[in-house]
Amino acid sequence: MPTEPEPPYDEPAGAAAAWLRRGAPEFVGGNGVRLLQGGDELFPAMCQAIARARHEVWLATYIFHDDDASHAVALALADAGRRGVRVGVVVDGFGSKSTLQRLRDWLPAPHVELTVFRPVDRWWSLLQPGQLRRLHQKLCVVDRDVAFVGGINVIDDRIDLRHGRSDAPRLDFAVQLHGPLVPAVGQTARALWSRAALGAEWREEVVALARSAEPMVHARRVLQRLRIVAPGLPAPAAARVPPVQAAFVVRDNLRQRRSIERAYVEAVARARQRVELITPYFYPGRAFRRALVHAAQRGVRVRLLLQGKIDYRFAALAAQVLYDELRSQGVFIYEYTPAFLHAKVAVVDDDWATVGSSNIDPLSLLLNLEANVIVRDADFARELSRRFDAAIAVSREVSDATQRTGWWQVLRRGFVAWCAHWFLRMAGITGRY
């Protein structure tokens, strides 16, 4: 059983304060990191951890659907609440709009404290300032002992909200964390809930985090208490998970507006061997595109895996207008066709990898609340790269024969750039992108 938490649960975690102050990845050693592919792997691990909860569970997600897979997660949360565990759940008001009533039935008060981030009660709610900025993080933290971070919404892998049920599961990833990085994830999930439910409490969270000192002292104390063994896993599985260095990076509208984008660009700029990136929505800014092109020009193998089975037509168009520019500079582009693509992961060289919720487009990089885990570990990077290669093997490479060229491509690119410009202007983002 997990030991009693240290420090008390109402004290902000020092590890969380570190990234709030500095905005750059704060790598902490001694973490157990396990790669999970799809909800088929994530949800059983999450439910198992929730079933063992003793003190608190915090969950934040963009979509919480009403299918069998999500119902299993809801049952685990409600059961934890009934046995006295504090359970806080925050969902996005747009992403989960159609299922809110069902969620209130599944997650009844007072056992579960369910709240909604920026509710969309009427269609004109989206016209209010700030409503384009959505909660897109996918986080779950149990007792500061185990955390789950990634791109997987609480929805069955084989259900798409626009296109219905499919035979093949979405390609998506998350990580399961144990160790000193977990409190930072927990503090973020709790602050999201507080921001949605109690504006005053959110402001107190920010102030407390900003004033917190000596983050690494707390990290060392947690590491000593955990002794690297992950209490949320059976002993044999925990023994196989090596202690690794990892950082938790968020994109918010406070002091970390460019943190995830900066982490990507800096990693690509340092690349010497390979850059492997998967994202369904790809329309990066100029600095990001330059980093990819410069890497390819100096001999780095740069491979992008984007969606081939289209869910949003305009998002696919936005990516496709960049194909010529990138391919002409040596970047290899593939489209994933077996199923819908939702993964947001990357591998750079042999020891840098990231898994999270952030796409490489203006919504994620400039507007939405996002969260990624960056891992500096050769074994983890090797495993994620192996999954990347498996996906590439069943994808199609973009070539001259598959692309439209000429004046039509020029018009499409201009149209996408114009739409992106005015979309960001309406959202309050100025400057070049």
pLDDT tens-digit series, residues 31-89: 999 999 999 999 999 999 999 999 999 999 999 999 999 999 999 999 999 999 999 99
- Domain for residue 59, yes or no? yes
Count other C-beta atoms under 10 Å from residue 137's C-beta.
29
* Same domain flag for 217 and 145: yes
- Domain for residue 9, yes or no? no
Give per-residue burial for 183-221: e unless 16+ CB within 10 Å, then b: bbbbbbbbbbbbbbbeeeebeebbebbeebeebeebbbe
Split into its structural domains, the chain has a count of: 2
Residues 314-351: tens digit of each pLDDT: 677 777 888 988 999 999 999 999 999 999 999 999 99
Q: What is the pLDDT of residue 257?
A: 81
- Domain for residue 29, yes or no? yes
Domain coverage including residue 307: 259-426
* Same domain flag for 127 and 264: no
Output the six-digit token pair for 91.
């969902």
* Same domain flag for 234 and 313: no
Whether 227 has a pLDDT exceeding 90, the answer reads no
Here the CATH number for the domain that contains residue 85 is: 3.30.870.10
- Domain for residue 326, yes or no? yes
Name the nearest CA neighbour of 263 among 272, 251, 274, 279.
251
- Domain for residue 337, yes or no? yes
Residues 284-312: tens digit of each pLDDT: 988 999 999 999 999 999 999 999 998 77
Do 137 and 371 meet the contact criterion of CB atoms below 8 Å apart? yes
Do 214 and 222 meet the contact criterion of CB atoms below 8 Å apart? no
* Same domain flag for 232 and 207: yes
Name the nearest CA neighbour of 58 among 178, 177, 193.
193
Q: For 358-378, what is the mean pLDDT?
A: 93
Output the six-digit token pair for 166.
């499919």
Whether 121 has a pLDDT exceeding 70, the answer reads yes
Average pLDDT of the chain, as a whole number: 82
* Calpha distance 172→10 (Å, rounded): 33
* Same domain flag for 199 and 302: no
* Same domain flag for 219 and 270: no
Whether 25 has a pLDDT exceeding 50, the answer reads yes
- Domain boundary, last residue among 247, 267, 286: 247
Output the six-digit token pair for 41.
């792997």
Banded model confidence at residue 230, pLDDT cuts 50, 70, 90: very low
* Same domain flag for 272 and 382: yes
End-to-end Cα, the chain, rounded Å: 50
Q: What is the pLDDT of residue 215?
A: 38
- Domain boundary, last residue among 217, 247, 277: 247
Banded model confidence at residue 162, pLDDT cuts 50, 70, 90: confident
Query: What pTM value is reported for the model?
Result: 0.82
Torsion of CA 263, 373, 389, 288, to 10 degrees: -20
Residue 202 backbone phi and psi in degrees, to 5: -60, -45
Q: How far is CA 32 from the centre of its chain?
A: 18
Q: For 160-189, what is the mean pLDDT?
A: 94
Instruction: Categorise residue 114: left if φ over 0, alpha if ψ from -120 to 50, beta otherwise.
Output: beta
Do 289 and 250 meet the contact criterion of CB atoms below 8 Å apart? no
* Same domain flag for 202 and 299: no
Q: For 391-415, what is the mean pLDDT?
A: 74
- Domain for residue 92, yes or no? yes
- Domain boundary, last residue among 223, 247, 271: 247
Q: What is the pLDDT of residue 418?
A: 60
* Same domain flag for 159 and 303: no
Q: What is the pLDDT of residue 398?
A: 94
Query: What percentage of the chain reaches a pLDDT higher than 70?
Result: 74
- Domain for residue 432, yes or no? no
- Domain for residue 3, yes or no? no
Name the nearest CA neighbour of 24 among 336, 220, 267.
267
Q: What is the pLDDT of residue 340?
A: 95
* Same domain flag for 18 and 164: yes
